[in-house]
Amino acid sequence: MKEIKVAIVQMNVFPGRPEKNIARASSFLEEACKNGAQVAILPELWLSGYVLNRVQDFASPLGEGYFQEVAALARKYSIYLIGSTLEEKDGRFYNTATIFSPEGELLGAYRKIHLYAPMDETKFLSPGDETPIFSLPWGKTALAICYDLRFPELFRLYTLKGAEIIFIPAHWPQKRIAHWRLLLRARAVENQLFVVGCNRTKNEFGGWSGAYSPLGEAIAEGGKDEEVLLASLNMEEVSWLREKFPALKDRRPEIYALI
């Protein structure tokens, strides 16, 4: 799969109303599939919203509870589906991004490493400590979540592990939307890979989701109000650029490895 068509669903999220959020996501995924999307990404905590004081009501082990609803959406629309959901594991709670196959199979999960204290993540959630790479039909894929975007070390690590594309569900506020737009593009340029960010929109959240090429070009970029964006990504651009301009080979890890 050398080229993929990605739907970025920057929907509004209704806190504490999973049934309504699932119904809205379903309608947007139907639209995306009619337009030929093979992969779709939803915002951070799109199903429950940030009602972390009720985390026990919405979190479940991978493959159970609301994760089954996500798998059902992937199956219904025969699409690779990415998004972030609350997970419970061994008595701890996580903000976990997942990838489900068009058959509803869980292909990968990433637990948010950098928790954001102003939204009570450090109070109610545990941080992840793994940086997995997933080999998918279009190439090596990694996940990050919202606040992770401010930590370039994570993205460089993914790159050194072979990542060719990174998907980022987010709940990024409007008042710092310039940072979101800048950092998405920067992470793509400095690591010579595709970056796809899906933000929540409406109310105090900023939208401006987008897909960026290894050269930092905006393949698709929304404003605050669009709800479904489509981007066609030619995955061969990653290897082409890394061969043509091999900046990553000029790293000096012996100088800054301990930073």
Catalytic positions, written as ranges: 44, 112, 146
Q: Nearest CA to 109 among 80, 73, 134?
A: 134
Angle 239-196-194 from CA coordinates, rounded to 5°? 10
For the chain, how many residues are written? 259
CB 214 within 8 A of CB 230: no
Residue 45 to residue 56: CA distance in whole angstroms: 14
From residue 86, alpha-carbon distances to 33, 94, 98, 134, 166 in Å are 26, 6, 10, 20, 20
Beta bridge partners of residue 195, listed in sequence order: 166, 212
* Closest by Cα among 62, 124, 114, 48 to 93: 124
135: number of Cβ within 10 Å: 11
31-67: b (≥16 Cβ within 10 Å) or e:
bbbeeebbbbbbbbbbbbbbbbeebeebbbeeeebbb
Cβ neighbours of 86 (radius 10 Å): 25
* Of the candidates 125, 199, 191, the residue with the CA atom closest to the CA atom of residue 154: 191
